[in-house]
Chain A
Amino acid sequence: IAGITQAPTSQILAAGRRMTLRCTQDMRHNAMYWYRQDLGLGLRLIHYSNTAGTTGKGEVPDGYSVSRANTDDFPLTLASAVPSQTSVYFCASSDAGGTYNEQFFGPGTRLTVL
């Protein structure tokens, strides 16, 4: 069982370019999340999806978009990358309808925008 996979592992990107970070889970979880992690700030929620076909904004959504066409995939798109989007991005999923709300995290994508 792979759990959550993220791709790419790391990426260096020129400012102004478009970039999509991929996230796939094989646990059939209905909820998925994108966080960014910055030194001294912890993890902050960018966007989330409670179920396929729905998405919502988190704490820091500006400059990012998401889609949830099916249960397993939750890509995060930077339409026009800026240097302030340099960060480590984590995807997570949870069985939000279950008894417990443990979120399982992927290994992360390290993104550098120059």
Chain B
Amino acid sequence: AQSVTQPDIHITVSEGASLELRCNYSYGATPYLFWYVQSPGQGLQLLLKYFSGDTLVQGIKGFEAEFKRSQSSFNLRKPSVHWSDAAEYFCAVVRPGAGSYQLTFGKGTKLSVIP
């Protein structure tokens, strides 16, 4: 079964610092890859997605992610974090051709931002 690992449960960064959130997946073929953000008390919002092609994808709110097939990773990055980025971030995968298009989520990384 495919799985998604987010090794960092909680990360704290200073405002203006760079950010990298890690995500690894366990599956033989390249799945579809997603990053979602959840602000406190809110639903999930899609930040960016990777299906194929250019391995560096740009998303909303200044986020980007890089797909590395050799490492089975899809890490999320932002050059300069803003206080409003404090939220929980979820990596998710869909196995193409599975028929049901079910998202499998990682357990999430909570981001705290120090002013």
A42-B107, A108-B43 in contact; A50/B90 too (CB < 8 A)?
no
Q: How far is the CA of A106 from the CA of B99 in the complex (A)?
A: 23
A40-B107, A42-B90, A42-B108 in contact; A48/B102 too (CB < 8 A)?
yes
Q: How big is chain B's contact interface, by range?
A: 20 to 34
Q: Which residues of B contact A43 (CB under 8 A)?
A: 44, 90, 103, 105
Q: Which residues of B contact A87 (CB under 8 A)?
A: none
CB of B63 closer than 8 Å to a CB of A = no
| 20 sample A-B contacts, Cβ–Cβ < 8 Å, listed by A number | A31-B101, A35-B105, A40-B107, A42-B90, A42-B105, A43-B44, A43-B90, A43-B103, A45-B102, A48-B100, A50-B99, A50-B100, A50-B101, A56-B100, A58-B102, A90-B44, A103-B46, A103-B103, A105-B43, A105-B44
Q: How far is the CA of A58 from the CA of B98 in the complex (A)?
A: 13
Q: Which residues of B contact A12 (CB under 8 A)?
A: none
Q: Which residues of A contact B108 (CB under 8 A)?
A: 42
**Interface size in chain A (residues, C-beta < 8 A):** 26
Which of A13-21, A75-83, A93-101 touches B?
A93-101
Are A41 and B43 interface neighbours, CB within 8 A?
no
Question: Residues 57-86 of chain A: 1 if any B CB is under 8 Å from the residue's CB, otherwise 0?
Answer: 010000000000000000000000000000
Are B49 and A96 interface neighbours, CB within 8 A?
no
Are B90 and A107 interface neighbours, CB within 8 A?
no
CB of A44 closer than 8 Å to a CB of B = yes
A42-B107, A101-B32 in contact; A96/B43 too (CB < 8 A)?
no
A100-B51, A101-B101 in contact; A42/B106 too (CB < 8 A)?
yes
